[in-house]
Amino acid sequence: MNRVNAVILDRMQSEIPLIPELAGHLIAGGGKRMRPMLTLACARLLDYPGDRHHKLAAAVEFIHTATLLHDDVVDGSDMRRGKTAANLIFGNPAAVLVGDFLFSRAFELMVEDGSLKVLKILSNASAVIAEGEVNQLTAQRQINTSEEKYLDIIGSKTAALFAAACRISAVVAERPEADELALDAYGRNLGIAFQLVDDAIDYVSDGATMGKDAGDDFRDGKVTLPVILAHSRGSEDERKFWHNAMLGHRVSAEDFAYATRLLREHGAIDDTLERARHYGQRAIDALGPFPASGAKDALVEAVEFAIARAY
Amino acid sequence: MNRVNAVILDRMQSEIPLIPELAGHLIAGGGKRMRPMLTLACARLLDYPGDRHHKLAAAVEFIHTATLLHDDVVDGSDMRRGKTAANLIFGNPAAVLVGDFLFSRAFELMVEDGSLKVLKILSNASAVIAEGEVNQLTAQRQINTSEEKYLDIIGSKTAALFAAACRISAVVAERPEADELALDAYGRNLGIAFQLVDDAIDYVSDGATMGKDAGDDFRDGKVTLPVILAHSRGSEDERKFWHNAMLGHRVSAEDFAYATRLLREHGAIDDTLERARHYGQRAIDALGPFPASGAKDALVEAVEFAIARAY
């Protein structure tokens, strides 16, 4: 991971000082490096002896960072990774443009690596992420969003990059397609579990532990699974409440307290986490074809870590 | 060009209806298709018999469209190509995300083509464009911006994509590097001329003829060459005026009228256009190595067209 961090720090440089300054605020300032760690762990799982995956893991993190910068502009976020969001410090224009820079840099890194297959996987993932983000935007404030549509959205906006981060290791290790698909499935299911947990946490966290405030999704009218379940299981009056809340008409501290009470009453948080465990288990089972190893244990632990964040 | 347009229309589709809707507003709604036309004209200059350049020309237009969408968010633009800017109709969030989608789609098209050399040229151009945009943002409202720095900025934000659009034709036609470099120089100089003319027009156009309002740069505090020249040639009082104007303190209709009067008095518009003709001539001379042909005439005409827009 030190090698990956070195690539990240080296390649976010630019003659335009604002670029490393803004990128550094987000990249150097914490972040779990979950996605590049997955690329590394999968490479280790396959006993890949080379070092191509360092550059590619950095590319994955750049794509992720670019989407975070743009997400914060889109959502008008206040906090990210426990710090003031970059767009609030440097302004939306700089956040948009530095996101574009990091995105381009990611492709430069992939081109340097030279694998068209990796380029295909990650350019496709990038388009799917953007589609997922637009889809999420379209679904915002729509209380009638179905669980199926919600799963579509998080499958695109989150799980696609997890899947790609894992799959590219099988490509550089020159493994058969079955291994690519197994790692893709592992990453995709882990990504869905990860996002489900994130969406549950948004109703139970405090800013200090999670690096962002509880209730962001509630105030933004993002119809996540906890809300979908509570709405679907609720009384007529409760459904009216959710309808109005998602429209932004019921977003006071009292409204949020009421919302979390409804979520508890209907087991919506518990069942969201239950769904997360389901996808987590599928991720673990996707690793079935690979023999036991320390790397495999680490990938199983990554799933457990993703889910344990909620507790 | 019909083939390119067919690729553009086909590949801006998505299951998420907002994507083709927003992209179509900008792409279908006019635009000169200057950059993809350059790719085609250069391919014709080199007697390239294949059809790979259609997809790549569409990729170039997607990159350009993505930067336009993000620019309009960054600048808070009201108008683009004679229509209400997409961000005003669909909102900044959608404009940012659909830009990301088109950018990813551009890379998917390049990956389908399969040339790592083309991918390298265009991923590098994309990073340089983003750097240029950030540089421009940093220089905004800084009246002491030098002509050198201004040329750096427009060389990155505009000319890099013109250069790449031309150069990739030499790559697909499998021509020697000297031809690549000649077309790169043609495109780069044309791009600089094009932007110089654009920046002059911003002080003399009316919305009806140019598709955007005169004075946008003035009100945004963008220190373009006309301002740099008028400031550098002006009296102490006039310099104070420009200083305050770029800071946004003198942006009334009267202030703008005074500004255009100063520009005329100091020959700042004429000399900006003179600089444009200089780069236009360099573009034409860069075509020296290529024998006379209809395609060469078309490339010379493209330069003349870029400059004639100011008259």
Structure tokens at A145: 């969003």
Give dist(CA A242, CA A223) in Å, integer: 10
Q: Which residue has the tokens 């440097």?
A: A90
pLDDT tens digits, one per residue of B89-107: 999 999 999 999 999 999 9
Give dist(CA A198, CA A222) in Å, integer: 13
Residue B143: alpha-carbon gap to chain centroid:
23
Enter the CATH code of domain A2-308: 1.10.600.10
Stretch among A26-40, A136-150, B46-60, B204-218 having the lowest mean pLDDT: B204-218
Give dist(CA A106, CA B127) in Å, integer: 9
Q: In chain A, which residue's Cα lies nearest the Cα of B138?
A: A18
Residues forming a β-bridge with A83: A80
* pLDDT in the model for residue A83: 84
Within 10 Å of residue B117's Cβ, how many Cβ atoms?
Answer: 14
> Which residues in B lie closer than 8 A to residue A134 (C-beta atoms)?
14, 16, 18-19, 94, 97-98, 101
Min Cα separation B93/chain A (Å): 4
* pLDDT in the model for residue B208: 53
Work out the angle at residue B175's Cα, subtended by the Cα atoms of residues B172 and B177, and round it to the nearest 5 degrees.
Answer: 110
* pLDDT in the model for residue B305: 94
Closest CA to B93 of A144, A183, A130, A35: A130
Q: In chain A, which residue's Cα lies nearest the Cα of B128?
A: A101
Structure tokens at A162: 């997890």
pLDDT tens digits, one per residue of A164-187: 999 999 999 999 999 999 999 999
Chain A contact probe: residue of B131, B148, B152 with most A CBs at under 10 A: B131
By Cβ distance, the residue of B96, B108, B131 closest to A74 is B96
Residue type, B294: G
Q: What count of residues does chain B have?
A: 311
Give dist(CA B224, CA A179) in Å, integer: 55
Q: What radius of gyration do chain B's Cα atoms show?
A: 19
CB A16 to CB B135 under 8 A? yes
Mean pLDDT of chain B: 94
Chain B contact probe: residue of A92, A104, A118, A128 with most B CBs at under 10 A: A104
* pLDDT in the model for residue B183: 98
Residue type, A180: E
Q: How confident is the model at residue B160 (pLDDT cuts 50, 70, 90)?
A: very high
Within 10 Å of residue A134's Cβ, how many Cβ atoms?
Answer: 27
Contact A214, A199 (CB under 8 A): no
Contact A32, A130 (CB under 8 A): no
Q: How confident is the model at residue A127 (pLDDT cuts 50, 70, 90)?
A: very high
Give the largest Cα separation in chain A, rounded: 60
Q: Where are the strands (E) in A198-276, listed by range?
A: none
Structure tokens at B204: 């003399």
By Cβ distance, the residue of A93, A103, A134 closest to B97 is A134
Contact A135, A153 (CB under 8 A): yes
By Cβ distance, the residue of A108, A123, A134 closest to B18 is A134
Residues ≥6 apart with Cβ < 8 Å to A170: A42, A46, A179, A180, A182, A183
> Which residues in A lie closer than 8 A to residue B18 (C-beta atoms)?
134, 137-138
Give dist(CA B227, CA B199) in Å, integer: 10
pLDDT tops 90 at residue A205: no
Chain A contact probe: residue of B97, B103, B117 with most A CBs at under 10 A: B97
Closest CA to B52 of B3, B89, B13: B3
Helix (H, G, I), strand (E, B) or coil at A79: strand
> Which residues in A lie closer than 8 A to residue B92 (C-beta atoms)?
73-74, 92
> Which residues in A lie closer than 8 A to residue B67 (C-beta atoms)?
100
In the A/B pair of chains, how many CB contacts fall below 8 A?
137
* pLDDT in the model for residue B209: 55
pLDDT tops 90 at residue B30: no
* pLDDT in the model for residue B206: 64
Give dist(CA A214, CA A137) in Å, integer: 20
Q: Where are the alpha helices (DSSP H) in chain B?
A: 2-11, 18-27, 34-45, 52-75, 86-90, 92-113, 116-139, 147-154, 160-172, 177-201, 207-210, 216-220, 225-233, 236-246, 253-265, 268-286, 294-308
Structure tokens at A105: 């840099």
Min Cα separation B137/chain A (Å): 7
Q: How confident is the model at residue B84 (pLDDT cuts 50, 70, 90)?
A: confident
Contact B135, A102 (CB under 8 A): no
Average pLDDT over residues A58-77: 94
Contact A182, A287 (CB under 8 A): yes
Residues ≥6 apart with Cβ < 8 Å to B257: none
Q: Give B311 or A198, the one with higher predicted confidence.
A: A198
Backbone angles phi, psi at A85, to 5 degrees: -60, 145
pLDDT tens digits, one per residue of A268-281: 999 999 999 999 99
pLDDT tops 90 at residue B192: yes
Q: Give A229 or B78, the one with higher predicted confidence.
A: A229
* pLDDT in the model for residue B207: 55
> Which residues in B lie closer than 8 A to residue A123 (C-beta atoms)?
104, 107-108, 110-111
* pLDDT in the model for residue B23: 93
pLDDT tops 70 at residue A209: no
Chain A contact probe: residue of B111, B121, B128 with most A CBs at under 10 A: B111
Residues ≥6 apart with Cβ < 8 Å to B261: none
Residue A235: alpha-carbon gap to chain centroid:
33
* pLDDT in the model for residue A80: 80
Closest CA to A66 of A118, A108, A16: A108
CA dist list (Å): A153 to A139, A165, A222, B16 = 9, 18, 11, 11
Q: How confident is the model at residue B310 (pLDDT cuts 50, 70, 90)?
A: confident
Q: How confident is the model at residue A206 (pLDDT cuts 50, 70, 90)?
A: low
Give dist(CA B90, CA B101) in Å, integer: 15
- In chain A, what percentage of residues exceed pLDDT 90? 88
Domain map of chain A by residue range?
A: 2-308
SS3 content of chain A, % helix, strand, coil (to 5): 75, 0, 25
Q: How confident is the model at residue B81 (pLDDT cuts 50, 70, 90)?
A: confident
Give dist(CA B169, CA B87) in Å, integer: 33
pLDDT tops 90 at residue B311: no
Q: What radius of gyration do chain A's Cα atoms show?
A: 19
- Chain B residue set in contact with A, beta carbons under 8 Å: 14-19, 66-67, 70, 73-75, 92-94, 96-98, 100-101, 103-105, 107-108, 110-111, 114, 116, 119-120, 123-124, 126-127, 129-131, 133-135, 137-138
> Which residues in B lie closer than 8 A to residue A98 (C-beta atoms)?
130, 134
Q: Give B270 or B311, the one with higher predicted confidence.
A: B270
pLDDT tops 60 at residue B178: yes
pLDDT tens digits, one per residue of B199-232: 999 998 765 555 666 899 999 999 999 999 999 9
CB B126 to CB A100 under 8 A? yes
Helix (H, G, I), strand (E, B) or coil at B30: coil
Closest CA to B106 of B36, B206, B42, B44: B36
pLDDT tops 70 at residue A208: no
Contact B302, B189 (CB under 8 A): no
Contact B132, A96 (CB under 8 A): no
* pLDDT in the model for residue A104: 98
Structure tokens at B227: 């301002």
Cβ density class B56-92: b for 16+ within 10 Å, e for less:
bbbbbbbbbbbbbbbbbbbbebebbbeeebbbbebeb
